[in-house]
Amino acid sequence: MYGTRKRKSQRKANHVMAETRIIHGFHAVTARIRQQAESVLELYLDTQRRDARIRDLLKLAEDHHVRVIPVDSRRLDGLAGNVSHQGVAARVNAAQRVRHLDDVLDILNEPALLLVLDGVQDPHNLGACLRSADAFGVHAVIAPKDRAVGLNATVEKVACGAAETVPYITVTNLARTLRELQEREIWVVGADGAAKKDLYGFRHAGGLAWVLGAEGEGLRRLTRETCDELVRIPMLGSVESLNVSVSAGICMFESRRQRAG
């Protein structure tokens, strides 16, 4: 059933020694092949799986000339870091991603809608944020290089393919990046539970960047001070705050609702 597929170009073989990483799970791997097949260096499949889902993935890999390597479950466990991988993993070229925010903003044909995450460290939260960002047409997710989880296999799996469709851009200085967005006339709005204005009273039709803080800590002082405006999500129950991915989804949905209206 399994076989090694020839690559479309020998050039891809030269990328094996480049910066690479492992992604796993059907959603993440399938999305990467469909979106950036040239960046998939090797596809690893569990030799014990022979179901329709595996057959469909094999056909997709063959159509896109992706090399397939059958492996046992123990090797897959090691590749995926001993987390649930569904019998599927892939080694991909990490250098294929969008690296600079200008690459995104310079080609937009509508006002920018961005999500800025100030130090989110839980990979499940980041994956959920990416998934919501994809659902609401966010043009890019921005995060600092330090004090943030970064993209890893868990993020890819939770994102269910959104990590391949939404540009994830890391920056060395978040406050400076926010000021650069402001110079581009993008309104920078921080979600803060202590803000005077609530989401019901917030209106903005132009370029917009939502800024959300880390789990339990919220926005850092400099980040908060750099924002053009602070807005809180109205809370009617007894809980004091929402998960960052839930908050991000609410804010992005409201922005898209306003634009549609």
pLDDT digits 0-9 by tens, 93-124: 876 566 688 888 888 889 999 999 998 999 99
16: pLDDT strictly greater than 80:
no
Q: Output phi, psi for 8, to 5 deg.
A: -65, -30
> Pairing state of beta strands 197-198 and 140-144?
unpaired
117 labelled as ligand-binding?
Answer: no
Among 12, 14, 6, CA closest to 65:
6
CB 248 within 8 A of CB 162: no
Residue 7 identity: R
Is 87 annotated as a binding-site member?
no
Q: Any known ligand binding at 114?
A: no
More confident of the two residues 37 and 250: 250
> Which residue in 115, 174, 123 sits closest to 144, CA to CA?
174
pLDDT greater than 70 at residue 247: yes
In total, the chain counts a number of residues equal to 261
Q: Which residues pair with 143 in a beta bridge?
A: 170
Q: Which two tokens stand for residue 256?
A: 């898209």
Q: Is the pTM of this model over 0.85?
A: no
Question: Taking residues 69-74, what's their average pLDDT?
Answer: 91
Q: Is the pLDDT of residue 12 over 80?
A: no
Average pLDDT along the chain: 86
For residue 168, the model assigns a pLDDT of: 92
Spatial CA neighbour of 134 closest among 45, 52, 27, 218: 27
